[in-house]
Amino acid sequence: MPSNQSLSDRDLSVLWHPCTQMKDHETFPIIPIKKGQGVWLEDFDGNRYLDAISSWWVNLFGHANPIINAALKDQLDTLEHVIFAGFTHQSAVKLAEKLVEITPEGLSRCFYADNGSAAVEVALKMSFHYWRNQGQTQKTKFITLENSYHGETLGALAVGNVSLYKETYAPLLMDVITVPGPDCYLREPGESWADYSTRRFALMEQTLQQHSDAVCAVIIEPLVQCAGNMRMYDPVYLKLLRAACDKYNVHLIADEIAVGFGRTGTLFACEQAVISPDFMCLSKGLTGGYLPLSAVLTTDQVYQAFYADYQAMSAFLHSHSYTGNALACRAALATIDIFQQHNIIEKNKSLADSMAKAAARFHDHPNVAEVRQTGMILAIELVKNKRTREPYPWQERRGLKVYQYALSQGVLLRPLGNVIYFMPPYIVTENELLLIADVAWQGIQQAVKD
């Protein structure tokens, strides 16, 4: 039987891991996982870890979920994959029907890709190509928010604004228009989220008024900028943005890759503003954390702009070898079935309250600037000085110290810089939430003691 050490050694001789300075693993070992069950992961030495971040925000209903497992076993005996150009299959059709049913009104067409970044690429290209097919070839720009993140392929990276991901590759990226965002961490003392988000929208309005003739779309992460340190804002911003995009004849792309499927307290974050975007990008939780799959939902108006005789050369040009993969589609169907048959959104309200109670003591911690929460996402922002909100120098890697301590106590927390966040699977218990909070508290104590 392999051990942690033997597998780690083999790994480091051949593998290159994502978002990782591999030299760190000279002193901080990689952890090989043998199996998962529910919210728990187990390594080859018998240590267990509570997956408090849903394995990079994808796992909604636990590892080795029996319902999703059964669906995949059934699908595997029938069809694993088939070319999706000129062919289709039952799971892809049923999933598209279900997505049209559960997403905001007006989203009536589904285009599959195989990961979140690819979904963003599809939406960007589709918006640009729509305007081209309409004869508005001057529309070539995109508007994005500061501190935004939409993926790491070149188009998705271009419309993001987190410098850690973007600066190195800047010479390869298209130019975009970046607007100061509604991030409520920056609000004035005593100012509400709604008031601040409304006030900040004036900057977006000015930009649309000035550039709308050249702009294809605004792309936004509704309510929570997850990779941007879990910064949050009020739904009123989305409502104002939808109205402005209509006014200035610009598409609205909602990147719900991280915030969709119940993370913000509703099935989709856009529901909290009662809006429908022109494009909605979905991935991550779509398959319950089992298989890579993404979908772009759009309107019939967009679809009809591409629908013509072949000689018109107006078809949308985008493909992936694994488009509409049958196994992934079946996992997604099982995931949606769990939502619908087990009243998950309502149950999550109670879980979100429990998470808030578990984290209540962090509000008064001398090195915590803010505890913020939207639904099943809770973030704790560490700072050097609570009064001035002076951050710790990034080079000190305080968040990494919390991560390392938490692992030693059997909890998987993977901070974003100095922001510790809880984003657990929806099957987490109140006692497990208390464990997550206790370990995070002790980890922060360790990280700030000097």
Question: Mean pLDDT across the stretch 193-218?
Answer: 98
Counting Cβ atoms within 10 Å, is residue 449 exposed (0-12), middle (13-18) or buried (19+)? exposed
Band the pLDDT of 235: cuts 50, 70, 90.
very high
pLDDT at 66 over 90: yes
User: According to the model, what pLDDT value does residue 154 have?
Assistant: 97
Q: Would you tell me how many other CB atoms lie within 10 Å of the CB of residue 32?
A: 17
User: According to the model, what pLDDT value does residue 293 have?
Assistant: 98
By percentage, how much of the chain surpasses pLDDT 70?
Answer: 100
- 37 bridge partner residues: 40
Contact status, residue 67 vs residue 337, Cβ threshold 8 Å:
yes
pLDDT at 323 over 90: yes
User: According to the model, what pLDDT value does residue 450 have?
Assistant: 82
User: According to the model, what pLDDT value does residue 50 have?
Assistant: 98
Q: Considering the chain, what is the average pLDDT of its residues?
A: 97
User: According to the model, what pLDDT value does residue 244 have?
Assistant: 98
Cα–Cα distance, 294 to 115 (Å, whole number): 5
User: According to the model, what pLDDT value does residue 319 have?
Assistant: 93
Contact status, residue 369 vs residue 386, Cβ threshold 8 Å:
yes
The answer to whether the Cα torsion of 80, 85, 89, 94 is positive or negative is positive
Counting Cβ atoms within 10 Å, is residue 31 exposed (0-12), middle (13-18) or buried (19+)? middle
pLDDT at 175 over 90: yes
Cα–Cα distance, 156 to 74 (Å, whole number): 35
242 is in an annotated binding site: no
321 is in an annotated binding site: yes
Contact status, residue 57 vs residue 258, Cβ threshold 8 Å:
yes
User: According to the model, what pLDDT value does residue 164 have?
Assistant: 86
pTM of the shown model: 0.97
Q: Three-class SS of residue 181? A: coil
pLDDT in tens, 20-34: 999 999 999 999 999
User: According to the model, what pLDDT value does residue 132 have?
Assistant: 98
| Strand 224-225 with 251-255, pairing | unpaired
320 is in an annotated binding site: yes
116 is in an annotated binding site: yes
Query: Phi and psi at residue 385, in whole multiples of 5°?
Result: -130, 115
Quick one: residue 230, left, alpha or beta (phi over 0 = left, psi -120 to 50 = alpha)? Answer: left
Q: Three-class SS of residue 161? A: coil
pLDDT at 236 over 90: yes
pLDDT in tens, 353-363: 999 999 999 99
Question: Mean pLDDT across the stretch 340-360?
Answer: 97
Contact status, residue 272 vs residue 194, Cβ threshold 8 Å:
no
Contact status, residue 71 vs residue 334, Cβ threshold 8 Å:
yes
89 is in an annotated binding site: no
DSSP string, 291-344: S--EEEEE-HHHHHTT-S-GGG--------TTTT-HHHHHHHHHHHHHHHHTTH
User: According to the model, what pLDDT value does residue 91 have?
Assistant: 98
pLDDT at 351 over 90: yes
pLDDT in tens, 263-281: 999 999 999 999 999 999 9
Q: Would you tell me how many other CB atoms lie within 10 Å of the CB of residue 6?
A: 12
Question: Mean pLDDT across the stretch 187-196?
Answer: 96
Exposure string (b/e) for 153-187, b if CB count within 10 Å is 16 or more? eebbbbbbbbeebbeeeeeeeeebbbbebbbbbeb
DSSP-H helix ranges across 23-65:
54-57
User: According to the model, what pLDDT value does residue 273 have?
Assistant: 98
CA dihedral 316, 250, 166, 122 (to 10 degrees): -20
Q: What does the block give as tokens for 416?
A: 């974003």
| Strand 224-225 with 141-145, pairing | unpaired
- Which element (helix H / strand E) includes 221? none
pLDDT in tens, 86-143: 999 999 999 999 999 999 999 999 999 999 999 999 999 999 999 999 999 999 999 9
Band the pLDDT of 1: cuts 50, 70, 90.
confident
Q: What does the block give as tokens for 211?
A: 């550039």
Q: What does the block give as tokens for 294?
A: 């993404």
DSSP-H helix ranges across 162-274:
163-166, 193-211, 236-247
Domains and CATH numbers, the chain: 31-64+344-448 (3.90.1150.10), 68-342 (3.40.640.10)
Cα–Cα distance, 280 to 104 (Å, whole number): 9
Contact status, residue 382 vs residue 390, Cβ threshold 8 Å:
no
Query: Phi and psi at residue 350, in whole multiples of 5°?
Result: -65, -40
Any idea what DSSP says for residue 19? T
The CA distances from residue 427 to 38, 146, 343, in Å, are 7, 34, 12
255 is in an annotated binding site: yes
pLDDT at 67 over 90: yes
Q: What does the block give as tokens for 355?
A: 């998470």
